[in-house]
């Protein structure tokens, strides 16, 4: 089990194991040697969450710099809030703005696809981040967290382990009275070498192959109405709602408390069990554009499972490319 470690966990690491027991290692008999197997893998997991209290204290004590950087990863639907403008008006002291519209594959016809390794490395390097930096990501969404887990996953898929989400987000940073500033951040550029971890990323072709092999469980993080096809996809042109055949539904909002914090590992584990999602088995997370799917990856990570893969193209790509019989919808003209 991985939790937001404080104080003694200043290095950020906590040993965890994951298996069908989700974090409980089998008892050893006297004289018996326990071997590492595929069903019990020991992992050293970085803390996926840090508290507002921890970050505020780190800022007060002058720890911001090459070894600790903060990113505001806010993004809002067109015509609603203006993320960059809100950042310019107030943000966590020392935070840089991570523009997810800039840090993506702009040549792709699909939404929010990953950029290349070189592009990502150059982009975050200009934000003062190196391969040795602890990165803390937050956003200003009213839910407490929306886009921050996507950026958390992006760092991980490009080979960076020392990345955390600010638990409670900017919403609770403000609520608790921590300092804010309008002063722009101008960090000294860092050198970041990105190395794609393909095990955390799934393509259209791999998900299509999985329709037959069923090697991976598939979980969709969108709201139930969009998953079922009974409610429209917001701000979408030419994209009906529905889901990939065989996908289960776990709306990402359910992973958060009413106050905007991530639920406890025990609560998250119970949620996966209730949906009959086996965290001891391979898992692909999907959504509309590979963003809220990262909430599934984060929730599983907090339960001790660090290997959830995200289908980057998600429904935005699947709806436009996949065979009709793999598109399921209860909406008008859909397939039950």
Measured CA to CA in angstroms, residue 334 lies from 219, 229, 282 at distances of: 20, 8, 29
Measured CA to CA in angstroms, residue 234 lies from 147, 193, 239 at distances of: 16, 36, 9
User: How many CA atoms lie within 13 Å of 256's alpha carbon, on the beta-carbon side?
Assistant: 24
- The contacts of residue 273 (CB under 8 Å, 6+ apart) are none
Q: Is the dihedral of CA 233, 238, 239, 245 positive or negative?
A: positive
Q: Which of 103, 287, 294, 303 is catalytic?
A: 287
Helix (H) or strand (E) holding 320: helix 314-321
Q: What is the dihedral of CA 82, 134, 161, 261, to 10 degrees?
A: -50
* Residue 13: strand pairing partners: 46
Task: Spell out where 62-138 has E strands.
Answer: 68-72, 96-97, 134-138
For the chain, counts of helices (H) and of strands (E): 10, 14
303 is catalytic: no
**Contact (CB, 8 A) for 150 and 73:** yes
Measured CA to CA in angstroms, residue 106 lies from 94, 209, 321 at distances of: 28, 26, 19
* Residue 45: strand pairing partners: 14
Q: Is the dihedral of CA 197, 114, 294, 122 positive or negative?
A: positive
Cα separation of 255 and 221, whole Å?
10
Cα separation of 23 and 1, whole Å?
5
With CA atoms as reference, report the closest residue to 258 among 180, 149, 179, 171. Answer: 171
Could you list the active site residues? 287
């Amino acid at each position: 089990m991985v939790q937001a470690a404080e104080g003694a966990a200043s290095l950020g690491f906590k040993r965890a194991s994951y298996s069908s027991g989700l974090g409980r290692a089998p008892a050893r008999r006297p004289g018996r040697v326990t071997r590492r197997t595929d069903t019990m893998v020991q992992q050293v997991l970085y803390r996926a969450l840090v508290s507002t209290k921890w970050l505020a204290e780190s800022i007060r004590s002058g720890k911001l710099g090459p070894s600790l950087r903060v990113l505001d990863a806010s993004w809002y639907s067109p015509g609603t809030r203006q993320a960059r403008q809100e950042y310019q008006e107030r943000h966590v002291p020392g935070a840089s703005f991570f523009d997810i519209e800039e840090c993506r594959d702009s040549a792709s016809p699909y939404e929010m696809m990953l950029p290349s390794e070189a592009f990502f490395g150059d982009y975050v390097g200009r934000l003062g981040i190196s391969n040795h930096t602890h990165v803390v990501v937050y956003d200003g969404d009213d839910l407490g967290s929306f886009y921050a887990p996507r950026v958390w996953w992006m760092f991980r898929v490009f080979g960076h382990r020392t990345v955390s989400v600010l638990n409670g987000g900017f919403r609770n940073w403000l609520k608790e009275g921590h300092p804010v500033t309008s002063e722009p951040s101008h960090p000294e550029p860092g050198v970041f070498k990105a190395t794609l971890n393909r095990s955390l990323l799934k393509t259209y072709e791999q998900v299509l192959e999985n329709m037959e092999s069923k090697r991976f469980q598939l979980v969709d993080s969108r709201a139930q109405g969009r998953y079922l096809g009974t409610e429209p996809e917001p701000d979408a042109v030419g994209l009906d709602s529905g889901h990939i055949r065989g996908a289960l539904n776990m709306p990402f909002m359910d992973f958060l408390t009413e106050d905007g914090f991530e639920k406890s590992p025990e609560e998250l584990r119970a949620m996966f069990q209730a949906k009959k999602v086996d965290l001891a088995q391979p898992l692909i997370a999907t959504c509309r554009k590979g963003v809220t799917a990262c909430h599934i990856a984060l929730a599983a990570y907090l339960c001790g499972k660090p290997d959830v893969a995200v289908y980057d193209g998600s429904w935005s790509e699947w709806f436009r490319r996949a065979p009709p019989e793999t598109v399921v919808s209860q909406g008008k003209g859909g397939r039950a």
